[in-house]
Amino acid sequence: MVTMSDVARAAGVSVMTVSNVLNGRSNVGADTRLRVLEVVEELGYEINLTARRLRSGRTGTIGLIVPQFDLHYYGELASRISEALAPEGMHLVVEQSGASRERELSALSLARLQQYDGVLLSAVGLDMADLDRIHPDVPIVLLGEQAVPERYHRVRMSNVAGARLATEHLIDRGARRVAVLGGKLSAAHPEMATYRADGWSRALEEAGLPPDPGLVIPLRTYSIAEARGAIADALAGGTEIDGIFAVTDEVAIGALAGLHDAGLRVPDDVQLAGFDNLGISEHLVPGLTTIDPDHAAMVTAALRLLRRQLEDRTAEPEHVVSDVRLIVRGTTRAHGDSVPSA
């Protein structure tokens, strides 16, 4: 087994310098850091996280468990967290749960948790009873909209307020038959789709437009492909739509493609708004009007809650809710534009 002493000898530096490089400390010159990292790769040196934890009580690693790797939102989330951890010499490991209860429980098992100093978990499969039975021995912050026991630290979005804001904007720009793509009117356990459908419903009611259950278009995976097909099916079935609130930007991208397939123009024939303000959204043609949930603030809050627990495991739990703002782009009409004639 290659040791830290072997790396130091091959790189012509001290063992302490190797340790500083591997722990991300800033007191090492760039050339020296590069030389050490090249030797680490060449010799195949692997950090023994168990030994590190025994020596310092820390692994230097944070775990992020998300439902799906192939959704843009979680890729951007992982990138933001990794960038925020880097200046501290901390590393991020990302796991995919597949939104499975069993895999989320496995990720929170004692053996798995020992790999991390703390865990950020986007829980989808676990319910209140599952979370209530778990008593992890490392800090955990829950991300997302599932109901959770009060003893957990948690960060979530202003789902109802954001959905309401997006729908109000569509109505303000002249839409009257506004569908909610990916929404759910009710669920045994409230989730993102029900909260965002609630915001959609409230905006319609306040505008004197009774919510039409026929304009609620459910989705199973919130993928681009499924959203594209759902819009095609709704239009083929005769559903009249002049506006769409998509519950995520990913869903909105699918809607944009589905409307194009049907020969409908955005925003002339159908206006469209999403939720998430993904990086890709401003580069669509036309650019996507969307809700910005302040990702930077959410990452800052989640890492702050992890650090609080690392310093004091008895820290009073916090439930943080992000602010939202509307980002207006080309998928909705300019204020005062007339509705195009057929």
pLDDT in tens, 255-282: 999 999 999 999 999 999 999 999 999 9
Which amino acid appears at position 43 of this protein? Answer: L
- Do the Cβ atoms of 201 and 265 come closer than 8 Å? no
> Would you mind telling me the total number of residues written for the chain in this entry?
342
CA distance linking residue 340 with residue 145, whole number of Å: 38
Which amino acid appears at position 6 of this protein? Answer: D
pLDDT in tens, 135-190: 777 899 999 888 888 999 999 999 999 999 999 999 999 999 999 999 998 766 77
Report the pLDDT value the prediction gives residue 1, as an integer from 0 to 100: 76
CA distance linking residue 182 with residue 223, whole number of Å: 10
Q: Structure tokens of 9?
A: 């000898």
Predicted confidence (pLDDT) at residue 49 exceeds the cutoff of 70: no
Predicted confidence (pLDDT) at residue 50 exceeds the cutoff of 70: no
Report the pLDDT value the prediction gives residue 339, as an integer from 0 to 100: 47
Domains in the chain: ranges and CATH: 4-47 (1.10.260.40), 59-157+294-322 (3.40.50.2300), 159-293 (3.40.50.2300)
Global confidence as pTM:
0.81
CA distance linking residue 87 with residue 274, whole number of Å: 33
- Residues 91-96, mean pLDDT to the nearest whole number: 91
Mean pLDDT of the chain: 89
Predicted confidence (pLDDT) at residue 342 exceeds the cutoff of 50: no
Report the pLDDT value the prediction gives residue 52, as an integer from 0 to 100: 55
Query: CB-based contacts of 121: which residues, under 8 Å, 6+ apart?
Result: 64, 65, 104, 107, 108, 140, 141, 142, 143
pLDDT in tens, 221-233: 899 999 999 999 9
